Structure 1
C-alpha cells in the first residue's frame, strides 16, 4: 500500500479518506459511487467466489461498461503487482513516509 498511498496523496486524496478505507461502507468520507467501486474491487480480489450479482448491479448504477472494464483492469493489475511483490519479498520503500 506504500506507493499507492503516496500516489493517492499526490493526486489530492485526503489522508483522512485513505485512513477510512477499511470502513468505506459506513464512512461518510465516501460517496455512494466510491462505495460501489470499492465494494466491486473488494469482491474482485476475493479468491473464494465470483463478484455477486448484487455488487455488479450496484456498480452498474454508477459506472458505464467502459468504466467497469477500466476498474476491473486496474484492480487486476494492482492485485498482480501485490502478489509479485509478495513472491519476491519486496519490502515497502518508504514512499508514504
Structure 2
C-alpha cells in the first residue's frame, strides 16, 4: 500500500509539471514533452515498487525517449537494478545511467 501511495504521488508530481506544457530544449513538440514525462513517471513508479531501488534518491529525466538516471545509490547492485528497470520500461529507447554509488546513504 505504501509503494502504491508513493507511486501515485510521484505520478501526480510529474503530471503537475505538465500544466504549463512548456516544450524544453531538444523536444520538438508538446506531444514529445508529454511522452517523455509519461516515460519518466513509469520509471519512477517502477522504482517505487522495487525493494532494491530507492525512488527518492534517484532522479529520472527523459528526452526523446532517452532516460537519464542521476542521484545516489548505496551499492553497485542498486545502480545496476535501476538501469535494468529503466531499460525494460515501455517506450524507452536508451538509458544513460549516471547514478553515483555512495555507501552509507
User: What TM-score, normalized to structure 2?
Assistant: 0.30
Q: Which has the larger radius of gyration?
A: 1
Asked which structure has the greater RCO (Cα within 8 Å, sep 6+), the reply is 1
- Higher normalized strand content (fraction of residues): 2
